[in-house]
């Protein structure tokens, strides 16, 4: 079954590598890929308010069941990648990380492997309520772009039970290497696995 998948990535740094991933999905016809916004659309939206950009990204996630984070060297620290991850959790999407540093860019240069973006966003329990956390300057802090509590019933993974202990999203999600693990042939299966883990 074709999965409608949202792809989260750092546009300026990795767009060439991302389009290589997209092209293999289009050719395979195994997936219906969403989230590949034209750069001019995304850049124009960034000139609007934060609320307008958040709305733009939420709209992009509509009707998707999996969010695939295409990770390069600096993806983990990107504010809007983190927002897409958080909104994906709230939506119940399956999540996975695919490292793309092993794909050459338009100058035929390989990238540098970065941190797993799903390891820098987590969930924690405080006074009986669940909240999102993010890693900033080496410390876990409350996630600032979504400060409401999260109903445990909306999580597809087990909610943390110890107060003020952050559970990283990466503990519940798979991470793959596109170049080293033959992503051209296998990414559709990785996406399907993520969907299954989330019960989608």
pLDDT tens digits, one per residue of 69-88: 999 999 999 999 999 999 99
Residue 32 has pLDDT above 70, yes or no: no
Cβ-based neighbours of 116, under 8 Å, separated by 6 or more = 71, 76, 97, 170, 175
Question: Rounded distance, CA 1 to CA 50, Å?
Answer: 35
- Check pLDDT > 50 for residue 38: no
Confidence label for 105 from pLDDT (cuts 50, 70 and 90) = confident
Cβ–Cβ < 8 Å for 120, 135: yes
Is residue 71 within 8 A of residue 98, CB to CB? The reply is yes
Neighbours of 79 (CB within 10 A): 12
pLDDT per residue as tens digits for the range 187-197: 989 999 999 99
How far, in Å, CA of 11 to CA of 141, rounded?
26
Whats the size of the chain, residue-wise?
200
The per-residue pLDDT for range 108-152, each reduced to its tens digit, is 999 999 999 999 999 999 999 999 999 999 999 999 999 999 999
Q: Are 69 and 85 within 8 A, CB to CB?
A: yes
pLDDT in tens, 168-190: 999 999 999 999 999 999 998 99
Report the pLDDT value the prediction gives residue 40, as an integer from 0 to 100.
45
Architecture per CATH, domain 3-115+173-197, reads as 3-Layer(aba) Sandwich (3.40)
Confidence class for position 30, pLDDT limits 50, 70, 90: very low
| Mean pLDDT value across residues 47-76 | 88
| Sign of the alpha-carbon torsion through 156, 87, 173, 198 | positive
Flag whether pLDDT at 96 surpasses 50.
yes
Domains of the chain, by residue range, sit at 3-115+173-197
Q: Which residue has the tokens 């307008």?
A: 52
Task: Give 7's strand partners.
Answer: 68
- Single pTM value for the model: 0.90
pLDDT at residue 2 greater than cutoff 70: no
Percent pLDDT > 90 in the chain is: 59
**Residue-level pLDDT at 195:** 93
Pairing assessment for the beta strands 66-71 and 3-8 based on DSSP bridges? parallel
Residue 24 clears pLDDT 80, i.e. is over it: no
Q: Is the pLDDT of residue 35 over 60?
A: no
More confident residue, 58 or 193: 193
Closest CA to 154 of 103, 91, 105, 109: 91
26-58 as b/e: b if 16+ CB within 10 A: eeeebbebbbbbeeeebeebeeeeeeebbebbe
Taking each continuous run of H as one helix and of E as one strand, the counts in the chain are 5, 9
């Amino acid at each position: 079954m074709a999965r409608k998948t949202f792809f989260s990535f750092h546009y300026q740094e990795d767009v060439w590598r991302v389009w290589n991933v997209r092209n293999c999905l289009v050719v395979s016809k195994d997936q219906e890929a969403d989230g590949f916004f034209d750069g001019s659309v995304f850049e124009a939206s960034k000139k609007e308010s934060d609320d307008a950009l958040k709305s733009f990204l939420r709209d992009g996630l509509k009707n998707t069941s999996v969010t695939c984070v295409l990770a390069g060297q600096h993806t983990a620290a990107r504010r809007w990648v983190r927002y897409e991850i958080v909104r994906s959790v709230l939506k119940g999407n399956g999540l996975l990380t695919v490292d793309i540093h092993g794909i050459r860019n338009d100058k035929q240069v390989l990238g540098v492997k970065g941190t797993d973006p799903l390891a820098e966003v987590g969930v924690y329990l405080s006074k009986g309520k669940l909240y999102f956390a993010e890693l900033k300057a080496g410390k876990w802090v409350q996630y600032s772009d979504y400060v409401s509590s999260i109903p445990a019933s909306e999580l597809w993974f087990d909610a943390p039970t110890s107060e003020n202990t952050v559970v990283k999203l990466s503990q519940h999600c798979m991470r793959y290497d596109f170049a080293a693990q033959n992503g051209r042939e296998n990414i559709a299966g990785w996406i399907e696995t993520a969907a299954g883990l989330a019960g989608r």
